[in-house]
Structure 1
Amino acid sequence: MKKWVLPLSLAAGVLALSGCGGASEGNVIATSKAGDVTDMELYAEMKDKFGPQMEQALQEIMQKKVLSEKYEITDEELENEVKTAKDQLGDQYEMFLAQYGLDEDGFKEFLKLELLREKAALADVKVTDDEVKKYYDEWQPEINVSHILVEEEAKAKELKQKLADGEDFAKLAKENSTDPGSAENGGSLGWIDNAGRTQFVPEFTEALGKLKVGEVSEPIKSDYGYHIIKITEQKEKGSFNELKDQMTKELKESKVDTEALQTKLDEEMKAADVKVTDEDLKGAFETEEETTKENDAAKEEK
């Protein structure tokens, strides 16, 4: 899904340690006949082993504190995000959480930070009604997509004929598809939204634009091999008035890239007067420009 698994785990650990309080030598968190371990010892060990990830964990904790002061995430918004994830992952949702050692509460904490970042990034983005209407006219509703991927064109044609003769798509996908992620799920790629269509290779995306629900494509060649694609379901497209808020949000999101998001987060941290007192983590909130200046200064000193 995203890039957050290790940083999120570390953030949870650091957050727990930050709430321990106590003397500078730390509180005892484990004992043995050979000696005790304190939270500060664990903290120092984590910094030593996971330096860059610790900086990212600190960023996440501080961003959540700062952005929560300015932007509100409602329970409804959070639940909607969880529902979206469940819809996309389907039967794999529990496996997904287990794979990364998360429970649903931990996943919600991540989603809350993502929503806070999103609100901050979109706060200053403007779109006109004409832009929104044009976006709506071109927008396509979610589709549930399955595919079978094989290496040889002859094999793809053979499977296409079997499907035409009435054989089960899911069964053939499990037995023949070389895409392991979808094969075990009968070829299912899950629900694909408007933006998600463009995440596939161009040939695949083009085919999705031409297929009708229940129709099976001819073998589609890509760099990965030959795809046989089927759209199993499609959601209805609501009216413009029904979808205007969603369209406005999606259009704004399309205007924000990673660089713009980072610039906005840097501005929010600067406005909150964030300062890092731990020397080992002082670079956590430095901007790229500040880091470049420090590196140039260090080179001049040499």
Structure 2
Amino acid sequence: MKKTIFALTVAASIGLAACSNPGDEVVVSTSVGDITQEEFYNSMKDIAGDQLLQQVVVEQILNDKYKVTDEEIEEELKGVKEQYGESYEAVLAQSNLTEETLKTNIRFTLLQEKALKDVEVTDEEIEKYYNQASQELNARHILVEDEETAKEIKAKLDAGEDFAKLAKEFSTDPGSGAKGGDLGWFTVGTMVPEFNDAAYALEIDEISEPVQSEHGFHIIQVTEKRDVKDYGKLEDKKEEIRESIAATKADWNTKMAELIKEADVKVKDKDLKDAFSGIKAE
């Protein structure tokens, strides 16, 4: 379990849900005056209203859709204790947590993990991944900043100019440019997704059209392909591949937006009406 569990807000314990009907009942009494439920509720809204409401609502949704057992929590807690060893109690104290509140944080983290794994992965995606992962590619590329330059270089290649020479002249990739664009052997997931899919779609010696990625525009040529030794059959790898694909799709902000949209959340407190306005599902 990652260290972030020590930083989580324990929404289930202190959330706005506990003050859902604030009134005049006294929460705390002091020599200088009382603090009522309504005053406490309003203070909580001022301090962390939107963020706390989001967490309370998301936790409620997660509790409805997914289950975390005591055994799972204890197993994660055991891992935390092993990770910190003799420093465990000190880390709890520094984080202003008791072991019970740490368990609450662990529970919420496990709920998040279950939600992130709950993504659709199609048979077509699994087969595509398998076909790619069962092969390694040897390729080279020319990387440039803009599409116009990429098209000009592609035209030169189509006219028969030397790939390596053009890579040395034009490529902005500091690692491969000086080597004629050579990237060596690689397998699925090594490159950014756009590059990966374009490369695996090429036949040997075929040169791609310009491919845009976060790095710029690539012109790719696959020079060799080889099977991955003992990779296994599709039916044996299916679940492993499904988990790998699901992990690449895992994005908590996106998942949270989907969950909130499905739950049809309506905020009745006008002071908190914009709490979910910035959370949009695609």
TM (normalized to structure 1)?
A: 0.48
Q: C-alpha separation between the residues in 2 aligned to 1:56 and 1:2?
A: 21
Runs of 4+ in 1 over 4 A off after TM superposition: 1-7, 127-132, 244-250
- Number of the residue aligned with 2:200: none
- Matching residue of 2:39: 41
CA RMSD of aligned residues (A): 3.6
Q: Which residue matches 1:123?
A: 118
| CA distance 1:115–1:96, change in 2 (3 Å) | same
Q: Does 1:112 align with 2:107?
A: yes
2:255 to 260, 264, 271: 264
**Does residue 1:72 correspond to 2:67, yes or no?**
yes
- What fraction of aligned residue pairs are identical, expressed as a percent? 34
Shift of residue 281, structure 1, vs aligned partner: 2.2
Asked whether the equivalents of residues 7 and 56 of structure 1 are also in contact (C-alpha less than 8 Å), the reply is no
How many correspondences in the alignment?
Answer: 174
Amino acid paired to 2:74: E
**1:59 corresponds to which of 42, 54, 58:** 54
Structure 1 residues 13 and 246: CA distance shift in structure 2, 3 A: farther
Aligned to 2:264: 273
CA–CA separation in structure 1 for the residues paired with 2:278 and 2:25 = 34
Structure 1 residues 262 and 35, CA, compared in 2 at 3 Å: closer, same or farther? same
Q: Distance in 1 between matches of 2:257 and 2:93?
A: 33
Letter in 2 for 1:251: S
* Unmatched tracts of structure 2, length 5 or more: 134-231
Aligned equivalents of 2:110 and 2:266: distance in 1? 24
Q: Which has the higher helix share?
A: 1
TM-score by length of 2: 0.51
Which residue does 2:13 correspond to in 1?
12
Paired with 2:238 and 2:72, the residues of 1 have a C-alpha distance of: 14
Give the 3 Å change call, closer, same or farther, for CA 289–116 of structure 1 in structure 2: closer
> Over residues 215-269 of structure 1, what are the superposed CA-to-partner deviations in whole Å (9 max), with x where a residue is unaligned?
xxxxxxxxxxxxxxxxxxxxxxxxx9xxx999679735641444xx212211111
Structure 1 residues 252 and 105, CA, compared in 2 at 3 Å: closer, same or farther?
farther
Shift of the 289–131 alpha-carbon distance from structure 1 to 2, 3 Å rule, reads: closer
What's 2:179 paired with?
none
CA separation in 1, counterparts of 2:99 and 2:238? 28
Once the two structures are superposed, residues 172-195 of structure 1 have per-residue CA deviations (whole angstroms, 9 ceiling, x without a partner) of xxxxxxxxxxxxxxxxxxxxxxxx
What does residue range 1-302 of structure 1 map to in structure 2 within 5 Å? 1-2=2-3, 8-9=9-10, 12-15=13-16, 18-19=17-18, 24-48=22-46, 50-51=47-48, 54-126=49-121, 128=126, 251=244, 254-258=247-251, 261-289=252-280
